[in-house]
Structure 1
């Protein structure tokens, strides 16, 4: 989300040369000092003062998307082709795609933490542990994911001991947070994939998240007036949230009825509602992180999108929600 750049507070010596009134001058620009001539005062033969003349109205501002929409669509289509191809060819290939996305996301997150806050979350144990989490979740389910998460947290604690003790607690806390936020949540995608109809479950998860984001963007951009969370993400509106819920519930009913074994349309309605809420909260959560860091995007790897983490923001918290609801509705497969 766009971040309003920090503007220095003017005052004191900074006022000189920046359009502020000189010292000893009038407090407002449209006032004149008694000792100074009035250049626009009415005189014989001179019409009304120039500053009273009507000014042309500024041209209406046109709504813009805020990003290179063409590049964003092109990159989105390219990613979709790669994901769909790997998803339905060999499951292990898609596991590799998840691992790559997780490692790149961890690199972006730890890099921004170090650049903006001086927090040194150790990347090596996070990347190795994150990859192990994905594989363990796919092969051993939730039990394997939890064990890998615990070992990754332990590795972060030990790895950081090689450096001076100053800020140790801060760095390892950030490392454990990164391990949970990126690879552990992504593990639920691998767990969905492990089911007999795993590729279809993952496809439904991706479709509903994308449809929710698209519905929020389209409705919010066209009709949005009431801000949803202006202090976190000024671009999000309540109308956009309604669009996300409506689009996701409709897509959920269709996808669950026709793509999920033993699924029913009413289950898809609940699934779509849950996805819209979790995707919105995930987007707001990352916006909160980026505002705290004072950045617009987590990276620049994907033209028109930002970084990998800027695409995972709504997917990560939605993965456990979809996994759990599908297990409740149709079983673990």
Structure 2
């Protein structure tokens, strides 16, 4: 599908749904009849959750709470480990994940309520952990900004991960929070090659725009690191040093990385992507993936899912550490303060004590 990441609308494999098949409608034959693929339009459904802060107890993740203003992501990154979450709605982790989106317009209101609860203790809250808070629909909905406005008002610590320079629309709020050491940002860059990026992450901003975003954030005083994510064997691993150099030139103060993960339906989707875009290397790539993941397409176990097994992950760690040291990006991220938090008003009333 032109302009999309997933080559197919693979149905969920864990909800009892069968593989989606053609229904005989004329739309199924549109490309044959009209000579061009029918454009796949993005739709947005309003979601009304009762709470907005998600909690996790994963021992290999450095935060325990997060907010996802949206469900699904139009960036269309084929490797996205969040794709399987669409199966909970009986939607495809394939094309549905990047075209049938959900927005949570009450997010800021819900956040204010949760922060005002007695006994709430502040700790860094993450945005961009499951789907990108700065995907294209943020332009119209502005939900991520409304959440950050609440966090800035209450001086609540925040960490953001994104692949989009759209974050610069909120640089006023982030610069204000940065003056009190309340925020840290990670800009993810997978490749510097525009041709590769167009197929891997078709609707994410050009890598050079992300590098420009690093520079703008650093110039505004917002501590920003580059996240080389994900590193894909035999596809992007040769770019590690080049990405590190470009990020250092943009002013990034630190570097991190993530090895590609292929949970649940992501594995067959990625295999289909390889067949479509890298048929000459498909077997080699998957052999390396399985070597890293203990003979499987994916390793779900804590800690090892992040680090991988064998010689290749060790080589990647060595290369990243060496490049970070050479470019002065091996520093610790500035500590993010949690002691400045002040609860918002509760039910319109100020606290007496």
TM, length-normalised to structure 1: 0.25
Structure possessing the higher radius of gyration over alpha carbons: 1
Q: Which one has a larger percent helix, Structure 1 or Structure 2?
A: 1
